[in-house]
Structure 1
Amino acid sequence: MAESEPRSPQNAPRHWRYAAGVAMAGVLAFGGWGLWRAWSPAPPPAPAGPEAARDARAQHAELEQLRQRVTTLSRSDQISREANRDLQGTLSERDEEIAGLRADVAFYERLVGSTAQRRGLAVHALRVQAQNGGAWHFTSTLTQNLNRGAVSAGRLTVALEGSRGGKLQKLAWDDLRQQPNAPGLAYSFKYFQQIEGDLFLPAGVTPVRVIVRLTPQSGAAVEQSFTWAEATREGSGATAAE
């Protein structure tokens, strides 16, 4: 049998270069495929099936329902808050009205009730409120229940005591009305009446006391004094002591 020809040393490098070339071509081909995958546009998504479309519609409907519910609850809360504020305001007004009516009932019971103390002509209360231009508006409540059914008539005037420049100052009705020989305010009633008028205080005068004088058509005059602080306080003003 013939012996094979031994491989010459010159042929070895040629085979090695061939193998290296094949390997290099494979590497380049793989790298090119990777770059193409990285930079090529993504394929369009597969069209959704009927079940996916139904799920999307259901989610959209649920979302709209939740939004509508939030809007409704928010509006309901706003309406409740407004109604509560209105109710609180109404209750406060009712409390004030009830307090006023109770005071009126107590006043009428003292005046015309079966156990009321009989009193002649009197100034029951006085209230003074500031107006524009240095004017003061007063409201005086007159009462009498001594002669039931009889009419009390006459004139009302007001005087004031105060201080100006550290000295006592007394202002008569003419001074407070800024009118010489100013007539008093007429009154005529059986049980009670409110008389209203305006006073004008000169600049620099600090009021201390107000004196209301009633001059009936017959009988002696009646005077009742009130402190300025009581007459100008918030509420019903000053009330004569029983």
Structure 2
Amino acid sequence: MVTDFDTALSILENRTRRSILEHLVREAHYPLQLADLLGVSQQAIMKHLKVLEDAGFVVSEKVPSEKGGPPKRIYAITQSFSLRLDLGPDLFRAEHRQLPQGGPTRLSSRLPEDALSVAERVGTRRRLPMAEALTLLSELNDELDRLDAERDALIALHQQIKQKASRVVDDTFDVYEERQLAHVLLEAPRRPVDLDQFCAGMQIQPQRAEEMMDTLRGVMMRQIGAETGTIIATSDDRLLPWWLAKADPK
């Protein structure tokens, strides 16, 4: 089961559930263990574990009791994912990203160059001495910190560009729905706008949305012309950015 962003956020907003997961990522635990560690009743722990298991965050299995009693249920983590939320003026990015599967060799094609040596040193080994693991993890933590700092800077630059474009949008379009369509375009410039979804969200007719899209195309073509001092002219078979190309009504 793959958890979506909203489900994951709803589950992780609870501090006790986050604490349970913090312990389970290290090793599997029994409910009574978690209750003692967190200072919460076993009944409450069981309720949280059920939420986590229903959402696919954890799995459980029955294991024989060490003291000869009835089998006991033990819980372990199953999913590996990353949640990202960027929020600010002209900035909203919410992503649920599944982490790639596979060992170090398989991951090598997706790793930054500075991390390749770590993957090579790990190789196909199933076990690592703790001292060596500490060294490798320290190197990866440094690389993650660097990448996070770069990402923060990219997000900030993205936000600043959106803010500057938003001022033009506000000055150019008097109609609220037209401004909203412009913002949808700015939020995903490489992906065609889903006009059906936009119509449903804005509660407008498809024809009206098409008219607004035509208006946006005209504005952007005039902006390109003013910026470059040229007009856009091309053959029928020349690919244009999707937002400049108008579908044939036939």
| Structure with more helix by fraction | 2
TM-score of the two chains, using structure 2 as the length reference: 0.20
- More relative contact order, 1 or 2 (CA 8 Å, 6+ apart): 1
| Structure with more strand by fraction | 1
Larger radius of gyration: 1
